[in-house]
């Protein structure tokens, strides 16, 4: 073995040790949450194996009634069942996030097409303004958002406060980042194909729908996933707009398990695992596209 080969072996060995140590820091919290969701009682996550395994939190989250011991001396029990099954919050969240993400794709893809392919006055100015105006944090515009929804609700009931459609409408405003991302992708596609289709007699709209959209599917997948995950995690706007417990999204519901006093970690953990798992798997499956999308949107070399 030459000295440089020896150096390679130690380099690889050190890398593995370092990576595994870091990986432990990343994975341990998740393992602890899974274990906390299976442990009887509502304790903050700690330790790997639940000492007293119980499915009570899972039953609660899924809306299945279960027996709970009220008095351990007498063995008295009572039946516990969630009034609003937390599973409903996940379902609300999925409905809101999927609808809003599809809307985001429709709105930002059409706008990005105009910015990438068509010529009009103030094009680059509008594009820059979109980006800068979006920097205003939505949290601080909550007073105005509240006023808008309160007002629309008086005329169109399903667009008012405490409606999921109202929340979706608010989310649809956040398109500018995605317009930039999709425009960046459109810019990498040569316009020659569309031009020859135009010469063959296709209309502008036809070339957009039949040529540009199909080859841009990967970027739409990225936009969908990123916006979906963003909306699933969105807390402040949802907590102000949605007031009824049955209308809550996952974010609002999950946080409601953890007030300052009496934090229900067991229930929270079960809900976190149940809702986090599908999203995580979806993300990992599409990872390759997402990496491409992240790097194609902002930066061009």
Partner 1 sequence: MSQLIARLQIRHVLVALLAIPSFYLTFLLYRSGNVWIALALLVLTCLGVFIYLNPSASTFRYLFPGLVGFGIFVIFPLAYTVYIGFTKYSSQNLLDFERSAALLRNETFPNPNAASYKFKLYAQEDGTYLLYLEDEKDPGRRFASETFELTPGVKPKTPPEPVKLNALPQGDQVEGTPLGMVQINRGKLLIPMRARQFLLPDETLVAMAGLTNFGSRERLWTPNSDGSFTNKKDGTIIRPNFKLGFFVNDKGETVGVGFRTFSGFDNYLRIISDPRIQGPFFRIFIWTLVFSGLSVLLTFAVGMLLSVLLEQKDLHFRQAYRMLFILPYAVPALLSILILKGLFNQEFGAVNTLLRGIFGFAPEWNTNPWGARAMILLVNIWLGYPYMMLICTGMLQSIPSGIYEASAIDGSNKIRDFTDLTLPLVLPPMIPILISAFAFNFNNFNLIYLLTGGGPQMVGGSAGETDLLVTYTYSIAFLDAGTNYGLASAIATLLFILVGSLAWINLRVTGKKVKI
Binding-site member from 6, 29, 210, 217 for partner 1 (CB under 8 A): 29
Binding-site member from 92, 101, 108, 216 for partner 1 (CB under 8 A): 108
Structure tokens at 92: 């609300």
By CB under 8 A, residue 202 contacts partner 1 = no
By CB under 8 A, residue 254 contacts partner 1 = yes
Min dist CB 217 to partner 1, Å, is 19
By CB under 8 A, residue 174 contacts partner 1 = yes
> Minimal CA–CA distance to 265: which of 114, 41, 102?
41
By CB under 8 A, residue 217 contacts partner 1 = no
> Minimal CA–CA distance to 194: which of 179, 216, 178?
216
By CB under 8 A, residue 233 contacts partner 1 = yes
- Beta carbons of 222 and 293 less than 8 angstroms apart: yes
β-partners of residue 79 are: 67
- Considering only residues 274-293, where is the footprint of partner 1 by CB under 8 A? 275-276, 279-280, 283-284, 287, 290-292
- Beta carbons of 211 and 199 less than 8 angstroms apart: no
Binding-site member from 63, 84, 99, 235 for partner 1 (CB under 8 A): 235
Structure tokens at 288: 């390759």
By CB under 8 A, residue 215 contacts partner 1 = no
- Which of these ranges, 61-69, 81-89, 116-124, 215-223, lies near partner 1 under the rule CB under 8 A? 116-124
Distance CA 78, CA 22 (A): 45
DSSP string, 26-69: HHHHHHHHHHHHTBSS---S-SSS-SSB--HHHHHHHT--EEEE
Min dist CB 76 to partner 1, Å, is 27
Size of the site for partner 1 (CB under 8 A): 101
By CB under 8 A, residue 137 contacts partner 1 = yes
Min dist CB 284 to partner 1, Å, is 6
Min dist CB 126 to partner 1, Å, is 8
Nearer to partner 1, 75 or 190 (CB): 190
- Which of these ranges, 54-62, 71-79, 210-218, 229-237, lies near partner 1 under the rule CB under 8 A? 229-237
- Beta carbons of 222 and 289 less than 8 angstroms apart: yes
Nearer to partner 1, 137 or 214 (CB): 137
Q: List all residues 6 or more positions away from 96 whose beta carbon is below 8 Å from its beta carbon.
A: 164, 167, 168, 171, 231, 238, 249
- Which of these ranges, 30-38, 58-66, 70-78, 191-199, lies near partner 1 under the rule CB under 8 A? 30-38
Distance CA 213, CA 198 (A): 15
Distance CA 139, CA 162 (A): 17
Angle, in degrees to the nearest 10, between helices 176-188 and 86-117: 50
Structure tokens at 159: 């667009």
- Considering only residues 40-79, where is the footprint of partner 1 by CB under 8 A? 43-47
Nearer to partner 1, 147 or 217 (CB): 147
By CB under 8 A, residue 1 contacts partner 1 = no
- Beta carbons of 138 and 236 less than 8 angstroms apart: yes
By CB under 8 A, residue 196 contacts partner 1 = no
By CB under 8 A, residue 133 contacts partner 1 = yes
Binding-site member from 49, 51, 72, 120 for partner 1 (CB under 8 A): 120
β-partners of residue 78 are: 68
């Amino acid at each position: 073995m030459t000295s440089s080969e020896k150096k390679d072996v130690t380099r690889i060995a050190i890398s593995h040790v370092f990576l595994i140590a870091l990986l432990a820091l990343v994975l341990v919290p998740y393992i602890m949450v899974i274990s906390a969701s299976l442990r009887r009682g509502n304790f903050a996550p700690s330790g790997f194996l639940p000492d007293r395994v119980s499915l009570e939190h899972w039953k609660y989250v899924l809306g299945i009634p279960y027996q709970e011991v009220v008095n351990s001396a007498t063995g008295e029990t009572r039946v516990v069942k969630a009034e609003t099954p937390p599973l409903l919050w996940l379902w609300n969240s999925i409905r809101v996030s999927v609808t809003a993400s599809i809307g985001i794709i429709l709105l930002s893809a059409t706008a990005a097409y105009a910015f990438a392919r068509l010529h009009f006055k103030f094009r680059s100015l509008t594009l820059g303004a979109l980006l800068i105006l979006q920097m205003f944090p939505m949290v601080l515009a909550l007073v105005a958002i509240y006023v808008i929804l309160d007002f629309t609700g008086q005329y169109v009931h399903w667009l008012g406060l405490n409606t999921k459609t109202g929340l979706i409408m608010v989310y649809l405003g956040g398109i500018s980042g995605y317009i930039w991302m999709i425009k960046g992708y459109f810019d990498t596609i040569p316009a020659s194909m569309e031009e020859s289709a135009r010469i063959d007699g296709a209309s502008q709209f036809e070339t957009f729908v039949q040529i540009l959209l199909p080859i841009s599917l990967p970027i739409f997948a990225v936009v969908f996933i990123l916006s979906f995950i963003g909306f699933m995690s969105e807390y402040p706007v949802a907590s102000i707009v949605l007031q009824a417990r049955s209308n809550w999204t996952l974010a609002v519901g999950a946080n409601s398990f953890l007030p300052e006093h009496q934090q229900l970690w067991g229930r929270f953990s079960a809900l976190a695992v149940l809702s986090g798992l599908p999203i995580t798997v979806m993300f990992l499956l599409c990872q390759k596209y997402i990496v491409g999308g992240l790097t194609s949107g902002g930066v061009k070399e």
